[in-house]
Structure 1
């Protein structure tokens, strides 16, 4: 199993269908598990996908429409039922704090899990983790909505052959990484001589929104973009009216922003054939594209070199 992958729990929009559950996306990123927009039925979809509640370290809501948050009560209660030991952080638009409170305490239950609410109030960093920084940007939707971007810092990859050749072993490797240079047997070894640049990876999650500057800022240069494509281009006027994107618009964003892997999702029930989304997007985006399906596992692309 990839240490970095997207587990798709649902791909529908306003109404689920026989083959599409309400939204739900778990981003596995090393030790982190970011659960985005758990709609109705997410807890059961997690069981089908083989995802334990303990895999969730953060819950990230873009906005408070039902197809993006009605799964919160089940997920939150499951955290306590399973006695998840680690803290789980919850991010959501601060303007909807009263809605989150109602979802969190929708029914009586014994709250055991440590759920820490961290509302999003403005554009910028939301959380700083060992694995990277979670950022948010306000989108253009009839209710307040935020998109998310996860950024891993750039680093360096040590080259074992070069380390051995220069006699750098054991604890000296760590000292060299910290100081950038190390004296070994009368010679100075530089970090650049025994390592190579390791670009950090980036991920973006863009749900219900019209085209706006924030969409492009979130998608800029990411390795994986998960983006709504509720409508097809033939219904672009409807998309604009209700605050959504078409598959073509999503693909145009990916092409303009240099996205490495495009994941289309959040499909209106008016279109039973997912192939149409792929055809429309492929006309403007020639990169790696996935039309998401429920319970699919989509790996984050290998790191750039």
Structure 2
């Protein structure tokens, strides 16, 4: 059975709180493990979540502010200590490469050669992760920052009534899926297009520190799961704009306009406490009518089933 699940390791912004660790999000997707923005304490949060360094195949940094990257040294050293055998690809803004080097070699340890670096430059970058596409797009923050989208390729959904009408049964169905055409028992040729319809690939978008900008929409468009910062509430909208962040109201509007299927709010300023959480949900829900999760540390959130 495939596993497509987001494990939330931390949900605070610049300053951790008693209830919220610095950022950290591990997207488990059919054997790939995308670790987004490992902030300070990520290694310990992974232990608490029952995760292993072996689960990580990608380290994806949106930008080089501390709450999004100070966990890199511990994570890399754990990958080395646990002798992870597979390649772990690290993506980060090319403009922050100096900081990446400092984090990558922050202490004395027995190093590993499995880390493959892929610095990001330009407005858009596309990378391959097996059959998945990882797209990075430039956002708007005081330092160079990227958002990410994980996209599964489009597939086909078989239509049983059409298969039956053409006499395609049993092993012939598998051959039709693999080869695109088969000869039916009556001698006619049956094509895959005749007995199936397009099935959209699943997608997840990860949008951290940014004010509203043109890079957001293509990342979020039609995403099954949108994980997005909502650092502030609307009374602090001017502050959000000044520091390159979003409010919960803006996050809800972005999700609604993009046709997102499940919205996850995170990256909360330390100025707010548990009593403010209903306000974040209410602001987002004013525009977005779909399911909303206000993320907490160690939450596990399934990617919604494929849209029909």
**Structure 1 stretches of 5 or more lacking a match?**
none
Question: What is the TM-score with the length of structure 1 in the denominator?
Answer: 0.94
Match of 2:117 in 1: 117
User: Would you say the 8 A contact 2:207–2:229 is kept in 1?
Assistant: yes
Deviations 1:141-179 (A, max 9, x none): 000000001111110134678657724544x55543354
Could you say what secondary structure the match of 1:239 adopts? Answer: helix
How far off is 1:7 after superposition? Answer: 0.3
Could you say what secondary structure the match of 1:285 adopts? Answer: coil
Match of 2:297 in 1: 294
Question: What is the TM-score with the length of structure 2 in the denominator?
Answer: 0.93
Match of 1:155 in 2: 155
Deviations 1:180-209 (A, max 9, x none): 222234221221344343210111100001
Match of 1:254 in 2: 255
Matches within 5 A, 1:22-61: 22-61=22-61
Match of 1:127 in 2: 127
Could you say what secondary structure the match of 1:45 adopts? Answer: helix
Match of 2:237 in 1: 236
Deviations 1:78-107 (A, max 9, x none): 001111111000000001111101000000
User: Would you say the 8 A contact 2:2–2:29 is kept in 1?
Assistant: no
Could you say what secondary structure the match of 1:99 adopts? Answer: helix
Take 1:32 and 1:102, find their aligned partners in 2: how far apart are those partners? 26
Match of 2:273 in 1: 272
User: Would you say the 8 A contact 1:84–1:113 is kept in 2?
Assistant: no
Take 2:2 and 2:245, find their aligned partners in 1: how far apart are those partners? 31
Q: How many residues align?
A: 304
Matches within 5 A, 1:1-305: 3-158=3-158, 166-170=167-171, 173=173, 175-185=175-185, 186-273=187-274, 274-305=277-308
